Amino acid sequence: MGEFGEGDGRAAGQRIVGVRASVESVDWSALTATRDDIVSRNHKGVESHLDHAGVRVVCSGARLMGPRSVRTEDGREFTAARGIVLATGSRPRTLPGLEPDGRTVVTSDDALFAPGLPASVLVLGGGAIGVEYASFHRSMGAEVTLVEAADRLVPPEDADVSRHLARGLKKRGIDVQTGARLEGAERLASGGVRATVRTARGELREIGAERLLVAVGRGPVTDGLNLAAAGLATDGRGFVAPADWSRLETADPGIHVVGDLLPPPSLGLAHASFAEGLLVAETLARVASAPVDYAAVPRVTYSAPQTAAVGLTEAQAREAAYDVVVNTMPLTAVAKGMVHGQGGTVKVVAERDGRVLGVHLVGPHVSEMIAESQLIVGWDAEPGDVARHIHAHPTLSEAVGEAFLSLAGRGLHQH
């Protein structure tokens, strides 16, 4: 419902562009069954690809026994001729004294399988995961409070992105509290939780909710890997850092790392992990492969409104001593943006008389719009290069085109 006009998440009485729409109810069991079916079909598709490629799949826990050998929990040992790939993923981080129970206090993993839909949710953490869950529960009709310790949502993104995102979430009726910290929480005998939050103004506020969703980040899973057997260790944050980023190879030649085990600049995003896996597979197959360009990997928050970005934020560009020019273009300045009526913006960060450094989008469907900007940043295009290309009318992507036209000194609707 959150994507349908400017819905506030209530199940009835929506009015969008003269059309009254209502949702009778949400069938949680049918919704989760659909989800499980999609996941299952994707899983079976991957299994089929692996089988077709002749890959042997062994379902078991395992640990390193040396630089080229692995032993499974049932005692089988495998020796690698060329290399080993560590890809054990991550798990949600939790808070001391606030242990998840899968029902009242849940992690972002638990929330996918928690029973039923709560009438109210307190989400701790305003990164991408917390924002997505806050948005989802509001769309399902819940009263939502979102608490983030930093002074803005999705802190790694551009400050203007954070501002527009917070505005959009508040417009939907989500209580957004930034610069706020959890002081304590207790489970109630009657059900639900009661939390004490210190607001940005230093005031103590009690918040009650049926469910407390902890989304304070994820940590790499390395327990039981026996890294020492291969002469490896984690860094201070628990990551396994590669010695050679161009091959994602550790200090022990032949052992490679992909996905959530990697520290920054890796992004812990599925599509970045795909690229990392492809790089390592081609490296082990002795096929030439370009390193992953993390600056050109798109970053998306799947909420309503959505955010999507690629490249440097304005602050990062200035910190890197670029001579920066910036242009912003509201989505509502183009016809399709007016039709959607949900606000949003396009922000372009570029070198003065030089290449595009970053593109940042907020609004409806921007996750589908970011691919163009990925190519712009990845191919070191300049605003004038983009301005030569005509964007279809009426589309939201017109706002991207207009932003670049203005930077190139050829603005049509922006002065």
pLDDT digits (tens, 9 = 90+) for 114-145: 888 999 999 999 999 999 999 999 999 999 99
pTM, to two decimals? 0.92
Per the CB < 8 A criterion, the answer to whether 42 and 208 are in contact is no
State both tokens at 269. Answer: 């995003």
Q: pLDDT tens per residue, the chain (415 residues)?
A: 333 334 444 443 344 667 887 778 889 999 999 999 999 999 999 999 999 999 999 999 999 999 899 999 999 999 999 999 999 999 999 988 888 999 999 999 999 898 889 999 999 999 999 999 999 999 999 999 999 999 999 999 999 999 999 999 999 999 999 999 999 999 999 899 999 999 999 999 999 999 999 999 999 999 999 999 999 999 989 999 999 999 999 999 999 999 999 999 999 999 999 999 999 999 999 999 999 999 999 999 999 999 999 999 999 999 999 999 999 999 999 999 999 989 999 999 999 999 999 999 999 999 999 999 999 999 999 999 999 999 999 999 999 999 999 999 887 777 6
* pLDDT at residue 190 in the model: 87
In the annotation, is 393 catalytic?
yes
| C-alpha dist (Å) from residue 201 to 177, 181, 197 | 11, 11, 11
CA distance 264 to 262: 7
Cβ count near 145 (within 10 Å)? 22
Sequence-distant (6+) residues with CB within 8 A of 228 are none
Strand 69-72, strand 62-64: pairing: antiparallel
Which of these is catalytic: 43, 389, 393, 413? 393
3-state secondary structure of 294: helix
CA distance 19 to 351: 45
| C-alpha dist (Å) from residue 287 to 51, 68, 278, 391 | 22, 21, 11, 37
CA distance 238 to 367: 30
Q: What structural domains does the chain harbor?
A: 1-57 (no CATH), 58-81+222-299 (3.50.50.60), 105-218 (3.50.50.60), 305-407 (3.30.390.30)
The DSSP result for 186-236, as a single string, is: EE-TTSSEEEEEE-TTS-EEEEEESEEEE-S-EEE--TT--GGGGT----T
CA distance 51 to 260: 25
* pLDDT at residue 96 in the model: 87
* pLDDT at residue 10 in the model: 45
CA distance 23 to 125: 29
Q: Would you call the peptide bond into 265 cis, given omega within 30 degrees of 0 as the criterion? A: yes
Nearest to 260 by CA among 278, 277, 236: 277
CA distance 303 to 11: 18
CA distance 341 to 3: 11
* pLDDT at residue 16 in the model: 60
Torsion of CA 167, 336, 375, 295, to 10 degrees: 0
